[in-house]
């Protein structure tokens, strides 16, 4: 088969690799129909995620059809259309039993890390993928939901919802700032709306993304190259700052912006994958009663989000800005990595 293979920072190629096979009785093989590219894939290519080594097939999002199952898989069948969760879970370990699938202790990739596709084992930017723990890591696509929309459930919707909105503890009436209006920030904006905030302020360097954010429920947008960006956000609060600042970029500047915007007793929810340490001004934060959270998506709200998607209660098609055949994945990466010029949000790859 063909797959997108990582060859160290800055290097990738669409090349021939062996077809995946069932290695364990709990595995399934999925023929990819639709996959996409995540901001995290860009971080990997920049060398920010050193656990990804030369030869790894990238990608942790996708929808496809099961072509083979191991002997222990009884709830899924060949022919089922399934969403591949970016987090794999055995369903049996102590973390899985608590719903913290992101830290599944099973011996796949590395025990204790649930995000393994395109990281510690081969991923979904390929014609076929081997899915460990198929029964607890795959979700059937509900009727009436397209593969393209279902692909948003693999990662961005649960990530924005769980690590942004739930960890940030968004409550009715809150003013929420989302720094970074890429697909993950937009997913946080879309799912924050489920909790009744009074304002959602989208902040990004990219004016197009700030503008797009209103389609996802942002009430206000600030382009952060504006020297008055901070005053403009504070003017949307009672001057004291936002109740919840969600960081969805992953660089020191935006982390600092989140700390600058949050009001006393507010929450900073960091979603971005950081490649470098950041300043953590505890000397100021303690007396301001700031709660800081961060994490790897747990995917424990995936079934709920699938239900909302099936009922058309979540913004979904609006995420998709470009479509390419899977074989043109290098062009798709180019488009996604130049989002400010190309106006890319989620770039969808469809197998032919
Ligand atoms: P993306 O690269 O498409 O979006 C990032 C956005 O940040 C862009 O719109 C960019 O213009 C903006 N930005 C960059 N510098 C900025 C600055 N100084 N000020 C304001 N905006 C700035 O990425 P994405 O797919 O939306 O992912 C966002 C982040 O979430 C990434 O760091 C990704 O790795 C991370 N992520 C985390 C998890 C998790 O489990 N915690 C899961 C998936 C993705
Ligand atoms: Zn991702």
Model pLDDT for residues 164-175, shown as the tens digit of each residue: 999 999 999 999
CATH topology for 157-294? Rossmann fold (3.40.50)
CA distance 305 to 95: 21
Q: Contact at 8 Å (CB) between 101 and 303?
A: no
CA 172 to chain centre: 24
Dihedral-angle region of residue 124 (phi above 0 means left; psi in -120 to 50 means alpha; beta otherwise): alpha
Integer-rounded Cα radius of gyration of the chain: 20
Minimal-distance CA residue to ligand 1 atom 12 = 180
At residue 109, the pLDDT reads 82
Enter the CATH code of domain 2-155+299-350.
3.90.180.10
The pLDDT value given to residue 235: 96
Lookup result for tokens 């990004």: 204
**What is the spatial distance between Cα 6 and Cα 44, in angstroms, rounded to a whole number?**
9
Q: Are 119 and 257 in contact (CB under 8 A)?
A: no
Pairing outcome for strands 28-36 and 62-69: antiparallel
Our answer on whether the CB atom of 162 is closer than 6 Å to any ligand 1 atom is no
Query: Residue 119: which of 102, 135, 142, 97 has the closest Cα?
Result: 102
Which atom of ligand 1 is found nearest the CA of 274? 32
Q: How far is the CA of 155 from the centre of ligand 2 (A)?
A: 5
By the 8 A CB rule, do 319 and 152 touch? yes
- The pTM of this model reads 0.96
Rounded to whole angstroms, the Cα distance separating 158 from 151 reads 11
Closest C-alpha to 204, from 237, 251, 151, 266: 251
How far is the C-alpha of 63 from the C-alpha of 30, rounded, in Å?
A: 8
Please report the pLDDT score of residue 107 as a whole number.
Answer: 82
How far, in Å, is the centroid of ligand 2 from the Cα of 130?
18
Q: Which of 48, 87, 180 to mutate to test the pocket of ligand 1 (most atoms within 8 A of CB)?
A: 180
DSSP, res 117? B
Q: Residue 143 in 3-state DSSP?
A: coil
| Cβ-Cβ contacts under 8 Å for 346 (sequence gap 6 or more) | 36, 151, 152, 156, 183, 319, 320, 321
CA of 227 to the centre of ligand 2 (A): 31
Neighbouring residues of 252: CB distance < 8 A, sequence distance ≥ 6: 274, 276, 278, 279
β-sheet bridge partners, residue 268: 245, 292
296 ligand 1 Cβ < 6 A: yes
Beta bridge partners of 319: none
Sign of the C-alpha dihedral computed for residues 229, 233, 235 and 241 taken in this order: negative
How is residue 263 written in tokens? 């009001």
Question: How many CA atoms lie less than 13 Å away from 94 in the CB half-sphere?
Answer: 1
**Domain range annotation of the chain:** 2-155+299-350, 157-294
Q: What is the rounded distance in angstroms from the CA atom of residue 44 to the CA atom of residue 138? A: 24
| 48 CA distance to ligand 1 middle (Å) | 13
Ligand 1 atom 27 nearest Cα: 39
Give, for all 352 residues of the chain, the pLDDT tens digit.
999 999 999 999 999 999 999 999 999 999 999 999 999 999 999 998 999 999 999 999 999 999 999 999 999 999 999 999 999 999 999 999 999 999 999 988 888 999 999 999 999 999 999 999 999 999 999 999 999 999 999 999 999 999 999 999 999 999 999 999 999 999 999 999 999 999 999 999 999 999 999 999 999 999 999 999 999 999 999 999 999 999 999 999 999 999 999 999 999 999 998 888 999 999 999 999 999 999 999 999 999 999 999 999 999 999 999 999 999 999 999 999 999 999 999 999 999 8
Residue 275 is predicted with a pLDDT of 83
C-alpha 11: how far from chain center: 22
């Amino acid at each position: 088969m063909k797959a997108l293979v990582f060859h160290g920072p800055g290097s990738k190629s669409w090349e021939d690799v062996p077809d995946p096979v069932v290695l364990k009785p709990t595995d399934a093989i999925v023929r990819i129909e639709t996959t996409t590219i995540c901001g995290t894939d860009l971080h990997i290519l920049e060398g920010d995620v050193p656990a990804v080594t030369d030869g790894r097939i990238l990608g942790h999002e996708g929808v496809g059809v099961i072509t083979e199952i191991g002997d222990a898989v009884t709830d899924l069948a060949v022919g089922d259309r399934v969403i591949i969760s970016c987090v794999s879970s055995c369903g049996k370990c102590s973390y899985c039993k608590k719903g913290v699938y992101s830290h599944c202790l099973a011996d796949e990739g590395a025990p204790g890390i649930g995000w393994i596709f395109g990281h510690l084992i081969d991923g979904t930017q390929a014609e076929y993928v081997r899915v460990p723990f198929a029964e607890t890591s795959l979700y059937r696509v509900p009727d009436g939901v397209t593969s393209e929309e279902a692909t948003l459930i693999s990662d961005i919707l649960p990530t924005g919802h769980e690590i942004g909105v739930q960890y940030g503890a968004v409550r009715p009436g809150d003013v929420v700032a989302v720094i970074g209006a890429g697909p993950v920030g937009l997913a946080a904006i879309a799912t924050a709306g489920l909790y009744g905030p009074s304002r959602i302020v989208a902040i990004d360097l990219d004016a197009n993304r700030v503008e797009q954010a209103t389609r996802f429920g942002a009430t206000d947008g600030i382009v952060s190259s504006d020297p008055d960006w901070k005053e403009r956000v504070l003017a949307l609060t009672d001057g004291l700052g936002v109740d919840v600042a969600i960081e969805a970029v992953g660089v020191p500047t935006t982390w600092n912006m989140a700390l600058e915007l949050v009001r006393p007793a507010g929450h900073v929810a960091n979603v971005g994958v950081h490649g470098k340490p950041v300043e953590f001004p505890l000397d100021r934060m303690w007396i301001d009663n700031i709660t800081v959270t961060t994490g790897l998506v747990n995917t424990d709200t995936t079934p709920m989000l699938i239900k909302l998607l099936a009922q058309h209660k979540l913004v979904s098609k609006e995420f998709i800005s470009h479509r390419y055949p899977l074989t043109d994945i290098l062009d798709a990466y180019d488009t996604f990595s130049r989002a400010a010029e190309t106006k890319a949000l989620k770039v969808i790859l469809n197998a032919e």
